[in-house]
A and B are shown apart, each in its own frame.
Chain A
Amino acid sequence: MARIIVVTSGKGGVGKTTTSAAIAMGLAKRGHKTAVIDFDVGLRNLDLIMGCERRVVYDFVNVINGEATLNQALIRDKNCNQLYILPASQTRDKDALSQEGVGKILDELKKDFKYIVCDSPAGIEKGAHLAMYFADDAFIVTNPEVSSVRDSDRMLGILSSKSRRAEQNEEPIKEYLLLSRYSPDRVKLGEMLSVDDVQEILSLHLLGVIPESKSVLNASNSGMPVILDEKSDAGQAYADIVARYLGENRPHRFIDDKQGLFGKLFGRK
């Protein structure tokens, strides 16, 4: 049975697209056929992070409007043949996405894919609403920072009341916390909210902590999801997150201060 994952946060700039690209690649690399959809209509960017911006011919809205088939619009990833990208449209029409249209596309994707990752735009407008509406699982990307935590809580409220599962009284969306841009040394100095603080406030299941890392910018510069940078801390953090999501038991490696040389050299399990 296919599962729909929404990557959401409310607040912008916390790492939703980076996370969507990384986990979609991670799932696909493990052999699960995965589609990743950009819901940010008008501000398409997932294509850039995935490095397929020059191969976009048709987009999400073209498919909804029947101007292209799903197969024509899906872009096969250059690094992994189990991964497909559905780019957002650059139209400025705010109503380009409809609930019915999105539902139809997701139903079609569900026949063929194991995981469908929905990269939500920031905010709580239509795009964000539709990205989460059909979800089975929600990855809440949060920075250890007051406005991000507050917005995440707001998203939790919306997930639990405005989603399809909520409206149809089904089992609620499974919610997971992904704490990104984390600096253990600043937490130690009392300058940054700790994982425990954020978990206490949001009471969410922690799927993983992504450390503040130079590798994230390097990855987006080159259009390669950071999870492919297997030597980087952020890449490893995402690999752990994918493994945990798939039910593996992996200890958290990036919560404590630098593990020292030994940990760095032999940290990978």
Chain B
Amino acid sequence: MSLLDYFKTSKASSASLAKERLQILVAHERSSRNQPSYLPQLQKELLEVIRKYINVEQDAISVNFEQNDTQETLELNIVLPDHQPKHPN
């Protein structure tokens, strides 16, 4: 890339870069907005319990809360490691 191209692209894209970053951020913040406030704590404690028995990574668990007019859904996802170590006891 020539020097000229560098200036051209960086100049033209700062607003579109801002838009892209904002779209991602706002979508993320909106999705977490309607979640109950206990969710992070719940996730942390669930992880602790699971780790007593299975050696999973910090990010192996995801807790999603969804809400529509008629019902609320709490979805819990745990990704188990490929080779499950034996039960500690």
Could you tell me which A residues sit within 8 Å of B by CB distance? 145-146, 149-150, 153-154, 157, 161, 187, 189-194, 197, 200-202
Q: Is there a chain A Cβ closer than 8 Å to B12's Cβ? A: yes
On whether A190 and B13 interact (CB within 8 A), knowing A150-B26, A201-B26, the answer reads yes
On whether A197 and B12 interact (CB within 8 A), knowing A150-B26, A153-B26, A153-B30, the answer reads no
Q: Which of B14-22, B53-61, B78-86 contacts A (4 or more CB under 8 A)?
A: B14-22
A109 to chain B, nearest CB (A): 32
Neighbouring A residues of B18 by C-beta, 8 Å: 145-146, 193, 197
Query: How many A-B Cβ pairs are below 8 Å?
Result: 45
Contact status A191-B30, CB under 8 Å: no
Contact status B15-A192, CB under 8 Å: yes
Could you tell me which B residues sit within 8 Å of A by CB distance? 11-16, 18-19, 21-23, 25-26, 29-30, 33
Which residue of the partner chain, among A154, A190, A192, contacts B11 with CB atoms under 8 Å?
A190
A156 to chain B, nearest CB (A): 9
Chain A residue nearest in CB terms to B13: A190
A201 to B19 CA separation, bound complex (whole angstroms): 8
A189 to B16 CA separation, bound complex (whole angstroms): 11
A188 to B16 CA separation, bound complex (whole angstroms): 12
Contact status A157-B33, CB under 8 Å: yes
9 tightest Cβ-Cβ pairs between the two chains A and B: A190-B12, A197-B19, A157-B33, A190-B15, A153-B26, A146-B18, A201-B22, A193-B15, A149-B22
Known: A146-B18, A187-B15. 8 other contacts (CB 8 A): A149-B26, A150-B25, A153-B26, A190-B11, A190-B14, A190-B16, A191-B11, A193-B15
